[in-house]
Structure 1
Amino acid sequence: MARLPRIRRNFATVKDLIKAAEDGDPQAQHDLGAAYASGAGIKQDRLKALHWWMKGAEGGDALAMERLGDVFRTGEVALEKVTPIDLDRAIGWYKKSAAAGYHEALFGLGRIYQQQQEFKKAAATFKESAYVYGKRESLREYGMCVFHGNGVPKDVQVGRDIIAEAALMDCEFSDLGRAYLAQNYGVTLGMPESAEARKKRKTALETFQFNCLQKRAEAGDVDAQVELAHKYVFGGKGNELNRDKAYFWFHRAADAGDAEAQFELGRNCDSGSSAQTRDPQQAYQWYKKSADQNYRDGLREAGRCLYLGEGVKQDYKQAGIYFEKAVKQQDPESMVFLGRMLQDGNGVKKNPERGKKLIDAALEEDKKGIGLAKLRLSMLNDAETAKARKKR
């Protein structure tokens, strides 16, 4: 199953967003559609929102697919009618979104099954969404299925308990929502709460979601293993910071062939963090495995090792091959490396003009991030200065 990128890019200006969308970037197409839907930074236009979501979905963006599911389920964009309801198309887009890694789409799919009175499918979908992927709203809906006996054996008390569990993880419960649960399900939440009580609700939700993630990882879900490892790297949000556990889960996923996990293990060996002492040779081997799957960060780091001769014999030609592939994926640091190689003619045909353009493009791209290309260029300049001094 496909995994969504952990970090979706931000675009500096609406102009940049429009250009990226028009150039065929599926994420930008989704984001531009969202901007048109809300009127954020651009004149609101619901039909243009639908147009760009369709483009993004057709290009493979899972969030755009889920948006289309919502549109065809309700016929609306931003609470206004824009297209006839088409539940078959909605089901198709929700399923594609979930298959592409956006499991939030299962909630909308369950809603459609409810509309069609296919209660067994609805209950099964809500149950999967809740207990496998940790969606609180689906937990509530599944509890209601159990309470009423829709698609599952009726059990009023168990249903009420599930609804109460979901409600106790709702950080922004309205007075109307409280009254509804009390009147229809006998679930009493009391008066509006303090900020501390809401914080406890948030912690309960994060813990529930983390436990669902851990169960998926333990069952062999490679995507979940990578996500769980990242959570252990940073800690918080329902889990502890534990770099040894992060290393364990990255290793499980890397052994299963996951390119991102292989890159992360390489970085681990490179730095000597977690359960691993520093091992440049092993780091390069993991980077290479990741690079061989065309994973951008793996390409860059395998190229860097070859360029510098760290953990592997120096090989400018192979480094250039890796950097070229990473540049095609808009990696700023690789632009700096390849740009310098083109300026010097190391491992590639000398082309100072293209080299300068790549470095300038990297520094421009840097303005949208945290300045890694500028730092890399500074490090290369320092290394060359030190090398020149030794020759004197």
Structure 2
Amino acid sequence: MIIQEYQILADQGDAESQNYLGDSFFYGRNDLIKDHKQAVYWYALAAQQDHTIAQFKLANCYASGQGVPKDLELAATWFIKAAQNGYANAQYNIATYYDWGIGVTQDESCAVSWYEKAANQGHIESQYNLAECYHTGRGVTENLFVAFDWYKKSADAGYVVSQYTVGTYYENGDIELNLDKALSWYEKAANQGYTLAKYKVANIYMSKNCNIDKAMVLYLEAAQDGYANSQFKMGEFFEDGIFVDQDLEQAFGWYLLAAEQAHVEAQLKLGEFYYNGDGVDQDLYLSFEWYKKAAEQGDSTAQYELVDYYCEGKIIGPDLEQAFVWCERAAKQGNIEAQYNLGLCYMDGKGIPKNLSQAAYWFEIAANNGDHRAELNIGLCYVTGSGVEKDVNQAFKWFKKAADEGDIRALLNIGVYDLD
């Protein structure tokens, strides 16, 4: 039929023709000038006659503000009507609205219900989102087996994120630990260009010591895609000269790209590179800045590096209080050097009032972690009753441990205090 015939039928109330006219105006087809307002007019007439597709299109117009003022509540109303008529795309859309509270009151269980309706019709994105709900327990009781089944359905249909996620299930052993199956799914996703999957495939190739050339290509592709973990990996290769010629400037460049994405290990590396002048001009200020970024993200090595900066006053004058703050943070995260030095801070009153019991506490923690200097110091604490109750047996234990590790002072103390 020509457009004029559709116009006649639409004027007579034919919903299919009204929807057709809506499309013609919306896209500027059939010799009609694109006019979103006219499109909305015809979609609305068809939608009011319960034309499912027109209801969905009208909802999209309200959602996007095309041809009508944007109104997410009206969008939700029309998505619901189309969804109730069984249209999978509308079921998916209203599910996302309930999931995030868009145009409706947030209701995660209602979202799950609509995702499931669409998923059962083969709607791939709904299958994935339903899997996510079961994986996280959002709107439904957490169930990894059900989650995996829905991930697998959408993965089998070619949905790349699900292919990657199925790979993670097999790699992590969430359902079954099977690295070969994980690799197979990662390869499917990588072949579709999925960056995280490229990185995973490369990691598995490296762990199996196979396809090294392909692994390097995939690391490079993922790094060029902007994936920080892969950029860091490239930095390591160039720094250490593994599979490539050593090139500290290239290493610095890759670390910088990763660090700018808040990759904490890369930030730590930049602190080291600027400090040593590796691949870049030495710059203690920039070294400090990158260490501080890593430290603020909780990296204990970077936190302890700041202690040295503040103690020595490498950028500005010494600041023992700040040195103490960062030493304590690193110590509480298990950094043994920091634990030992925190004991010294409390013993000597550096950056904090002297506190012998706290000094002994941190010496013992560091000693239990194998620091022979701390073993000597906690031995002295026990033999003199400094910060702890005097205990010659404990003193002997720690002196002997330090002496067995080659500390001459500990051996001498056993004799001095007549502990043998």
Question: Shorter-chain-normalised TM-score: which range?
Answer: 0.3 to 0.5
Q: What TM-score do you get using the length of structure 2 for normalisation? A: 0.43
Q: What TM-score do you get using the length of structure 1 for normalisation? A: 0.46
Larger-Rg structure: 2
